[in-house]
Structure 1
Amino acid sequence: MAPAHAEEVTAIAARVAGDDGKTRFVADLTRPVSYSVYVLPNPYRVMIDLPGVAFDLGPGSSGSGLGLVSAYRFGPLGKDRSRIVIDTTGPVLIAKSFLVKPEDGQPARLVVDLVKTDEKTFRMAHEADTAARPQVPAEPEADDTVQTATAMPLPVPKPGTEAPPTAAERPAPAKRADGKRVIVIDPGHGGIDPGAIGIRRTKEKDVVLAFSRALKDKLGANKNYEVILTRDDDTFLSLKQRVKVARQNQADLFIAVHADTVRGASVRGATLYTVSEKASDAEAEALAQKENRADIIGGMDLGTENEEVTDILIELAQRETKNHSIFFAKKAATQLQLVTHMTGKPTRSAGFVVLKAPDVPSVLLELGYLSNKADEALLVSPKWQAQVTEAMAKAIDTYFATEIAARQ
């Protein structure tokens, strides 16, 4: 292992010990570092926030659980932030946490002791901790004003303030000088967030990144397209950051790519989702709620924020953009059913946060289900990926050709 930079702190090992009553988590560090630790519900987990710590864990640090810990994961949240997420089997309290300084050739150690508790005690401790912890506002970003806000979190206008502009009042994105259509492909999850995990331990974040890269290569052969990936490596992005990539690049089409799991190993096939205030069915609603909670991995719990802003987001959403999204979803479903298995309802709708940019036609492509053996085998097959990317490319060509014809 290469030596760490003098200014860099690296986590070089992690382990869990204990039982169902008390469990200890230990991370070995190259030197002591500041940290904060707290619990979060739904699902129960412990968050350890660190400055920009690198992770170079050895083969003994598998991330598997023991006692009160079901699993743990880790990764960067940006240039200067890192996080360890400890999933727990139920409600826990942090009995104590402390740092051990390095000595006698041993590394520094970050220790967190967890004890089992009941839901009521956990809730009281969580509420007290939330009230005590300072709320650090996010740095302002270019699209965080009410006028241009289209991603989470959107500020709720206070009484007496100017109302958000209507769709007609907002300026349309400037057309590109080269006439190219911009397509943003968004591989779901990434980094600290693996997404769904298949029967054979296939990770959703890996499958969708491989597919998205293949789709980019296929579309990149068309000189009329500029194709952008929201992530091209194993990086965590919040839902807000994903939408921001589409809006900043004035995307003509946004495609989120996922491969989830569901109850029942027999459920399989691809599905295309568009945004809607009211879900088309219970399954679509459940999937939207699951995907909208992805930001919890990064520490942004959307449980209450989503309720506050959904009405505003839907009000801002342009009807024309929604219609374009639905139109493309139908085109894509027509092509996909020629090369792969589709679910019984190949086009559905629900309130996916990542699809809520009002000026970018957006769809979520559920490639298949990692909870199904047949789907999991296809999802990792280069031959299947080639067939599906070809179908998607045809659908995109048809969509833009039809759109251009309609405007002439």
Structure 2
Amino acid sequence: MKRSILLFLLSLFLLIVFPSEGKASAVQSKIILDGKEISMPANVQVTIVNKNVMIPIRVVVENLKFKVEWDQKSQGVKIQQDSKIISLTVNQQEAIVAGKQVLLNVAPQVQNETVVVPIRFISEQMGLIVSWDNVDKTVYLTSSNKESIQDGQVGTESPTTEDTSKPGGNPVVGADESAKSLKHVNGMNFANNQLVVSLDGEVTPTISTLKNPDRIVLDLPNTNFADSFGSSQPLDTGLKGKLDVSGYSNVSEVRYSLFTRDPYQVRIVIALNNANAFQLNHDLDSNLVVINLNDTEDSAISVPTVANSGLKVVVIDPGHGGSDPGTLSITNKHEKDFNLSLSLKVQTLLLKEPNIEVVMTRDSDVYPTRSERVQLANQLNADVFVSIHGNSVLESPQSNGTETYYYQRSSSKDLANVIHKYLVKAIGFSDRGVKNGSLQVIRETKMPAVLLEVGFLSNSAEEKLMLSDDVQNKAAQAIVDGIKEYMGVK
């Protein structure tokens, strides 16, 4: 018994003093190159390091007939095809490609006397199409002289004029100019009639619509799929997949693919049963791209009669409502309910102001369209328009803070600055700043207009505070104080 305890304590001591990496794990897997399995030595395996799939570089390049040299002294690997040379060094993230420095996500490592590198490096620098099947633990590689990835693309869309892929070419290091800035799609989902795409860096998306059938097309330039993407969403060997959109009457399909490889571009297509209005939101801080389709329901707003009494007219807009729940909180509560609760508190305070007349775009759980909200404010010739929202990034629950949006007009920027100042001070959330954003309700209104993202309902700490009456009362008073200061109302 004592001997067993002694061995256990010794094992525990060795585990503490000489811990395993914890971030690296070997995977019983296969590498399929151009449809054929590569034979690997018995002691060589695909490895996962910090969520990056690592494969043995020599096994791959020798099967591609590249020349490979290993320098034991410098721990360097040189790969050559014709005049193109790639140089790697073990435990160094910097590689040299055609004389230029390229940064790898993870440094090459030696495992079982074999150098392993991220498969993403293979894709970006050696002209291969790469995908990782997380279920079967299989790496699929397709060399550039095989069928172009352009064949069988997402739907029937033709490549745009920017498509410069060159089937049958020799782009071994053709992407080295943009490799440093290449971004990746980490994940995507479709919920609440919204497509949310999570990226690992700043991307400038382009969006267009197509007819017969109706489609919304989102292109992400200089972008590929992350190694880990296939573990959360379907991604076949051709780097194509579809999202589950069951339950949405007007969306028949959401499909995606690596649309071109030279240059890299991911394309996402929302196939519709009928043409659908939408709004594209791009959050640079969280690297999220959101297409919101909740802008189609007809709902009549009656425009109230406002007496020409010299009072300042303030329109308060609780975002979303009715069939448009907005985003979800970390505990699956709807944004629309938070928006209305806070807005009603703002209304209560403004009703006490003798020099202000307050008008609500909604005061119950109904859905006025964005166009109707804009039309209401413009027909009233309101002095100020304030739209109240809660933020949510379920894919990034650590995101937090308050941000305020305006659109171009200097008067809107001034209003945004003053309300934001009061709001951040009152509720104490981190300051994400005042930003210019092309959002319909602040873009098409004619008066000073702002959209407040009070905090992140997807952040557990902020959600708890935002749903409390105490913080809502503080936020409401701050919004009113900001409005009054801007308008010079005592």
Under TM normalisation by the shorter chain, which class is it?
0.3 to 0.5
The structure where strand makes up a greater share of residues is 2
The structure where helix makes up a greater share of residues is 1
Greater relative CO, 1 or 2 (CA 8 Å, sep 6+) = 1
TM-score by length of 2: 0.40
Larger Rg: 2
TM-score by length of 1: 0.47
